[in-house]
Structure 1
Amino acid sequence: MEELQKTLRKNKYKKINFKVSKTQHLVLKATINSIKGTFILDTGASNSCVGFESIELFQLKARKSKTKASGAGATGMFTQLAKNNILQLGRWKNSAFHLVIFDLSHVNLALQQHKAKPVHGIIGADVLLKGKAIIDYYNHCLYLK
């Protein structure tokens, strides 16, 4: 496993640690526009997102969106879009990052019912694809290039 880490470092991958929550979600810390938050790493989510309640926290410039969101048991949810934000995961950074904003209350309610901590949002496949992600489940770390 150390050989993998050396190879990834040599190829300019950045290591980001995550934790596994009580609900078996992969949880990591991320910074949006210089403000730290807690996020679920979700390989099945097409886009990264935050809840409406986090618009002010992360200083987002939310715009209307015609797109409806679905997932985690909910469909047809109203969304907004915040373009050109700065996302940082560990030492990996994206300075022109777009976020979908929608009602995450159903996600946090489910987490709280299992006595897990709420999250600010979800890091989805958009980040994983852009960063050419490699997930090391055994050692609880994500590598992004």
Structure 2
Amino acid sequence: MKRRIPEIEMKLFALAAASALSACTAAGAPDAGGAAPNVAEAMCRMGFQAIPMRSLMSGHHIVEGTLNGKAATFAVDTGAGMSVLHAPYGATYLGKATSTASGIAIGAGGQTSLSQYPVQELTIAGSATGLKHIVAVDIATVVEALQGIAGKPIHGIIGQDVMRAQHALVDVQQSVLYLRPADGKAPVRTAAECAKAGTAKGADKGR
């Protein structure tokens, strides 16, 4: 699901991404007598969780997660202003909606019904997010196209709300999504652990 983002919001997002890359570059400086760590190792040192993504032939990426304890698969969309659940899964995963309204969902087919649900827990590859509410909307055009390529159900989209809150960095080449812990508490990792993380890669590509 996509929406028009004000120019100032886009600029702020670009600045945040630039800051993350600058920090990564600084963390990637060579240790005394050693080689510079790669992106995965540098992100590990800064406390980021490396989440493997599966790259599809279409160029999209998907991740495995859970929504209120039930397994779910999400497309990662850096252009989506917020995370959304495909409407038919609303009752199954989330129970009763707290509000329902009609609105314009740009990129999801125009005028459509939007339902907001409380979220007990949304995890991505075992990593908890801080998302407390999610909107359910009919995104059949999107999920049906991706399901045909992925060969499995796609339940929704991880958007900019999660990515901004957890300072996301997407490594498209290696198919890895990096997220800071939702509680802001970066785990303490040893140099050896982060060196091992330097080999982090996503799932099989092009399938």
TM-score in same-fold range (> 0.5): yes
Distance 1:116 1:7, change over 3 A: closer
1:105 positional shift: 1.7
- The corresponding residue for 1:9 is 44
SS in 2 for 1:58: helix
Match of residue 100 from structure 1: 135
TM-score, normalised relative to structure 2:
0.62
Who is 1:65 aligned against? 100
Which has the larger Rg? 2
8 A contact 2:62–2:75 mirrored in 1: yes
The Cα shift of 1:77 comes to: 1.4
Structure 2 gap ranges (5+):
1-35, 181-207
The question of 1:127 aligning with 2:162 is answered: yes
Alignment size in residue pairs: 144
Pairwise CA RMSD of aligned residues? 2.2
Task: State the shift of 1:20 in Å.
Answer: 1.4
Q: CA deviation at 1:115?
A: 4.4
Q: Work out the CA distance in 2 between the residues paired with 1:31 and 1:128.
A: 17
TM-score (norm 1): 0.86
Query: What is the CA–CA distance in structure 2 between the aligned matches of 1:129 and 1:92, rounded to whole Å?
Result: 15
The one-character-per-residue Cα deviations of 1:107-129 (angstroms, maximum 9, x if unpaired) are 233335x5443410000000110
- Runs of 5+ unmatched residues, structure 1: none
Aligned with residue 136 of structure 1, among 171, 187, 195: 171
Q: Which is strand-richer, 1 or 2?
A: 1
Between 1:83-92 and 1:133-142, the stretch displaced more is 83-92
Higher normalized helix content (fraction of residues)? 2
Over residues 60-104 of structure 1, what are the superposed CA-to-partner deviations in whole Å (9 max), with x where a residue is unaligned? 431223362423351121100012331111242125521110112
Asked whether 1:18 is paired with 2:53, we answer: yes
Distance in structure 2 (CA, Å) of the matches to 1:116 and 1:7: 31
Percent identity between the aligned chains? Answer: 24
1:48 to 83, 103, 108: 83
The answer as to 2:115 corresponding to 1:80 is yes
